[in-house]
């Protein structure tokens, strides 16, 4: 009976370690994307293609998705971007949104106001 408990405990610990590692990887990727945009960002305009609210356990999340064209004429679609309720109210599907995308890696982008809210690290241009 003890081996069954220990096996279950091991499975739980390994599952939690995997979840923590995946969460950490996402956070590191977001940080790398932010540095990329601060160093190589180009202001542009996008078009809001999706605007949604989700409610879970009494909390409301607002997010948008947009499309934009890079300096080479190639179209891109953003991932879902969590936005403040004010920004969510300010944009309509089919409407314009100010964005910043990476000139070096154009598929990386953020709504401009989100990048403006983040203080720049010393040493970045």
In this predicted structure, what is the pLDDT of residue 77? 95
pLDDT exceeding 70 applies to what percent of the chain? 95
Evaluate whether residue 88 is within a structural domain: yes
Does the pLDDT at position 66 exceed 90? yes
Among residues 119, 75, 65, the alpha carbon closest in space to that of 97 is found at 65
Residue 123: pLDDT band (50, 70, 90) is low
- Could you tell me the residue range of the domain that residue 90 belongs to? 2-117
Evaluate whether residue 91 is within a structural domain: yes
Judged on CB neighbours under 10 Å (0-12, 13-18, 19+), 78 is buried
Instruction: Read off the pTM.
Output: 0.74
Q: List, for residues 24-60, the tens digit of each pLDDT value.
A: 887 778 888 888 998 999 999 999 999 998 888 888 8
Number of structural domains found in the chain: 1
- Structure letter (DSSP) for residue 82: E
Evaluate whether residue 122 is within a structural domain: no
Evaluate whether residue 46 is within a structural domain: yes
* Three-state secondary structure readout of 67-119: EEECCCCCEEECCCEECCHHHHHHCCCCCEEEEEEECCCCCCEEEHHHHHHCC
The span from the CA of 12 to the CA of 21, in Å, is 14
The span from the CA of 125 to the CA of 99, in Å, is 18
Evaluate whether residue 123 is within a structural domain: no
Among residues 113, 59, 56, 57, the alpha carbon closest in space to that of 89 is found at 113
């Amino acid at each position: 009976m003890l081996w069954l408990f220990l096996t279950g405990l091991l499975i739980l610990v390994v599952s939690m370690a995997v979840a923590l590692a995946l969460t950490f990887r996402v956070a590191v990727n977001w940080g790398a994307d932010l540095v990329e945009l601060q160093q190589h960002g180009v202001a542009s305009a996008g078009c809001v293609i999706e605007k949604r609210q989700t409610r879970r356990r009494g909390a409301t999340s607002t997010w948008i998705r947009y499309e934009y064209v890079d300096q080479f004429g190639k179209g891109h679609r953003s991932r879902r971007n969590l936005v403040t309720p004010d920004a969510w109210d300010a944009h309509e599907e089919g409407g314009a949104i100010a964005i910043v995308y990476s000139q070096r890696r154009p598929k990386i982008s953020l709504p401009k106001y989100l990048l403006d809210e983040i203080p720049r690290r010393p040493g970045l241009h």
